[in-house]
Structure 1
Amino acid sequence: MQHGAGTLNWIKLLFLGMIWGASFMAVSVALADVGPVTIAAARIAIGALSLLTILRVMGLHLPPINTGTGRLIWLSALGMGMFSNAVPFALLSWGQTYVASGFAGVCMAVVPLFVLPLAHLLVPGEAMTLRRSIGFLTGFAGVLVLIGLDALSSAGTDFESLARLACVGAALCYAIGAIVTRLAPSVNMLSLSAAALICASVLIVPVALLQEGVPSLPEARPMMAILYLGLFPTALAQILLVQIARSAGPAFLSTVNYQVPVWSVLFGALLLNEAVPPQLFAALALILGGLLLSRAPRRRAGVAS
């Protein structure tokens, strides 16, 4: 297992932030024709089928379940499927039905702040030092600058308070999922990713059918949005987050959530002709500064990182 971030993990982190940033736009498009829990179930099922297909083509297998280590791997996959996929996807899809614009993006920036104390307690080498704390807070300040305080104003819709709690709950789920991923036993990362999405599918598909029934075939645009959600922010993202969390740690992985609002704004401007907020570049400087500060290497022995 590799320790520290490294150039490859930084590239993976940036790409992960990009595809996750586009997912909010895709969920909004899909909500025009599909229920929120069905969106979560569909993207997870598509992601699981995609990874199972890749496993078969590559001649790989799912983790065994008839050994003690295998059962522990599947238990970890269940935790990952629940906290990194099924629950947060459903909470965010439902929350985006009610909350004011930008609130979900702000909540994703809270993930590193949840991860920091959890990793400090549970993951060796992830101590909550002063420099890391300042870096995380700097990045979070950048997100607040980007979104603007007016994004937190009430939209006056029903269930808005519960929807806000749902978005915060999703952020906490992602933090727990990152810790579970890092602590999972050593196993092929693609197999672990597929196992996690299978577990998530088993958890969320029955709930979607009970709550929203068998969905009718959506229109072309929502269908394309769901396919994107299943293939990229779910299947590919699951592989990337496992690789990053296992090699660079959950605290490093959690900093991807500082990028998500930036990418979301950029995609909105490029694809939906939305205006770029004037504070974008100042926010980007704070976010990247916070990332660099929180992950800066040791200067000399005895200096905390």
Structure 2
Amino acid sequence: MPTEKVSPSAVIAFVFLGLIWGSNFIFVKWAAQDISPLQITLMRVLFGFLPVMAYALLKRELRWAHWRHAHHFVVMSLLATALYYYAFALGTALLPSSVAGVLSGAIPLFTFLGAALFLRGETINGTRIAGVILGFIGVLLIARPWSATGDISLAGVGYMLGGSLCVGLSFVYARRYVSPLGLPVAALTTYQIGFALLFLLAVTPMRGIDALFADTRAWVGLTLGLGLLGTGLAYIAYYFIVESLGAIAASSVTYIPPVVALLIGVVLAGESTDAIALLAIVFILAGVACLQIGGLTRRRASTPTVDPAARVHQ
């Protein structure tokens, strides 16, 4: 049986996605010196929405008939975009960008827990339970609640975990209520980010937001790196990878961002790290690997479904 050739463009998109998701945290860190986390979230969503909408219009996938499902788009816009990005912006503002990036590697753990609790037929076995335990050991090693020095902000860790929880719940909601609709992913992503943009415009104070543009590094990183690339083009690249390589292979891109974030934080931002932080990322990635291995048999037995935005979470 001939082996299917992997498209070079799919490999390039895979590497791009891992690198850009891993760099998101330093962009947030730079912007947080000038504007608030809520303003960062608004700018990210605004500049991420533009390419996604353009892509959906180019593919002609937007339909007025889709609006009868607007209540589902509202829920997804909150869980998988507005609340999630805001929590990550709060957490990253309080933590070293490398630590925030490592903690983002725990997202699949919350996704599995949400699916196991609320979705029928989710495989729960020893391998996957071990994966959850390993992952949360990694989180504890990063948070170090036993430390008397308070080097790591527990509030920051809490915000990062809260954002991860939102993503996990969005996966459950998308799987149960959104995926069965069979709507085009480009359209779903446009509606999701679009509603999030409207909500953020309604609640975000604009005073002082222009301070961002006094710092070239900050505004370029936020608008282009975090918004255009890290949100807009990241969605498009992810779904291209799903179509080219399959959902299982695409999900393995989640291994890359924590490592990239750690390297960027240490090498480019001059953040300090130690053996415990390195051990934490090993535990977290090992936990994610166990979750994937534990669910591989079930995934091979069924056709993978793409849950809009539930898998796109950096």
Report the TM-score, using the length of structure 1 for normalisation.
0.73
Q: Output aligned runs, 1:119-268, within 5 Å.
A: 119-142=115-138, 147=142, 149=144, 155=150, 163-183=156-176, 184=178, 185-209=181-205, 212-213=206-207, 215-216=209-210, 217-227=213-223, 228-239=225-236, 248=247, 253=251, 259-268=256-265
Shift of 1:291: 3.4
Structure-2 separation of matches of 1:22 and 1:151: 29
Work out the number of aligned pairs and report it.
282
Structure-2 separation of matches of 1:79 and 1:261: 27
Q: 1:113 to 1:280 in 2, by over 3 A?
A: closer
Structure-1 separation of matches of 2:216 and 2:95: 26
Q: Which residue does the alignment assign to 1:298?
A: 297
Q: 1:25 to 1:282 in 2, by over 3 A?
A: same
Q: Which residue does the alignment assign to 1:18?
A: 19
Structure-2 separation of matches of 1:260 and 1:79: 26
SS of aligned partner of 1:97: helix
What letter corresponds to residue 166 of structure 1 in structure 2?
Y
What letter corresponds to residue 61 of structure 1 in structure 2?
E
What letter corresponds to residue 131 of structure 1 in structure 2?
T
SS of aligned partner of 1:128: coil
Identity %: 25
Structure-2 separation of matches of 1:94 and 1:61: 34
Shift of 1:207: 1.2
Structure-1 separation of matches of 2:147 and 2:13: 30
Report the TM-score, using the length of structure 2 for normalisation.
0.71
Match of 1:96 among 92, 96, 119: 92
Q: Deviations over 1:139-185 (max 9, x none)?
A: 4445655x47389766589xx66555433321211111222333412
Q: Which residue does the alignment assign to 1:3?
A: none
Q: CA RMSD, aligned part only? A: 4.0
Shift of 1:108: 3.0
Q: Which moved more, 1:257-266 or 1:12-21?
A: 12-21
What letter corresponds to residue 60 of structure 1 in structure 2?
R
Q: 1:204 to 1:153 in 2, by over 3 A?
A: farther
Structure-2 separation of matches of 1:233 and 1:151: 34
What letter corresponds to residue 115 of structure 2 in structure 1?
A
Structure-2 separation of matches of 1:152 and 1:200: 38
Shift of 1:76: 2.8
Residues 1:61 and 2:61 are matched in the alignment: yes
Structure-2 separation of matches of 1:260 and 1:136: 19
Structure-1 separation of matches of 2:87 and 2:143: 23
Shift of 1:55: 2.5
Structure-1 separation of matches of 2:262 and 2:146: 13
Q: Which moved more, 1:95-104 or 1:14-23?
A: 95-104
What letter corresponds to residue 171 of structure 1 in structure 2?
S
Unmatched 5+ stretches in structure 2: 1-5, 302-314
Residues 1:36 and 2:37 are matched in the alignment: yes
Unmatched 5+ stretches in structure 1: 1-6
SS of aligned partner of 1:28: helix
Q: 1:11 to 1:139 in 2, by over 3 A?
A: farther
What letter corresponds to residue 149 of structure 1 in structure 2?
R
Structure-2 separation of matches of 1:257 and 1:66: 34
